[in-house]
Amino acid sequence: MWCADQAGPFQTVPHPGRSWRPEGRPARLPHEYVRNGTAKVMTLFHPATGHVRLRGVTSCPNAVLHPWLKQELAAILAGLPAPPPMADQSRLAWERWQQGLTVPVTLPAELPPLRALLVLDNLAGHRTPELVLWLFAHGVMPVYTPLGGSWLNMAESIQRVLKGRALDGQQPTHPDEVIGWFEAVAGHWNRDPTPFEWGGERAARRNRQPRHRVGGSGATTRRPVYRGNGYWQRK
């Protein structure tokens, strides 16, 4: 399962945040600045491993988002083991994820083996026929969060973590700086990623294992995650 989301826009303005400074010499941000455009980040997140794929852009229309999603998903699928031949069970696997939907997605007559789930926000750009049919043809089932339920998308949590590490206490003067900082912290995160799990206090009591909430969604981790602004995300 992978989660997809877009974050931003992030402006070229001072971003407050905590930082380590010499005693008596606090960080100072100027009261004058120039708004020099904005930046956004496109994110694919794998909760089971904590690995994140991120690309920074200055705008994120469908003409930019869809090619990037296809490119990254194609690379992800290429790294998966070949699916076993199970033609009779293939459609059943797809239909299982349609159960309970008020308006189920119309499945094509011919379906490849189901290889991945993709969690997306319920936006019109994520439901275009061209994108949905491409996902079906490559064995990817889109799973849309309900309206007002973006907190069900764990990509919201990793974006909040990366935003704190990239922008807190910084004053970008150009969108390229914002993009570079985001991509740098994503690369650093992937050196030692933290898996995310679904659950909260009730699940923690049931499993008798410590869990730490990660802001932005209902995701939790088994170890606290440093946000980059002087805080550790915990319960």
Give 76's DSSP letter: H
Do 182 and 52 meet the contact criterion of CB atoms below 8 Å apart? no
CATH of domain 1-16+34-192: 3.30.420.10
Q: Give 221 or 112, the one with higher predicted confidence.
A: 112
State mean pLDDT over 220-234: 63
Top mean pLDDT of 78-82, 96-100, 130-134 is at 130-134
Confidence at 235, pLDDT banded by 50, 70, 90: very low
Burial class (CB in 10 A: 0-12, 13-18, 19+), 225: buried
What are the distances in angstroms from CA 103 to CA 118, 146, 157? 18, 12, 28
Average of per-residue pLDDT across 215-226: 73
Mean pLDDT, rounded, for 126-154: 87
Write the DSSP symbol of residue 97: T
Q: Look at residue 180 and tell me whether its pLDDT is greater than 70.
A: yes
Cβ-in-10-Å burial (0-12, 13-18, 19+) of 195 comes to: middle
Burial class (CB in 10 A: 0-12, 13-18, 19+), 207: exposed
Do residues 108 and 151 lie in contact, with contact meaning Cβ atoms separated by under 8 Å? Answer: no
- In 3D, which of 45, 53, 16, 26 has the Cα closest to residue 164? 16
Q: Give me the pLDDT at residue 86, please.
A: 62
CB of 197 closer than 8 Å to CB of 206: no
pLDDT band at 134 (very low <50, low <70, confident <90, very high): very high
Token pair in block for residue 154: 């764990």
What is the tens place of the pLDDT at every residue in 194-210?
A: 888 876 555 555 565 66
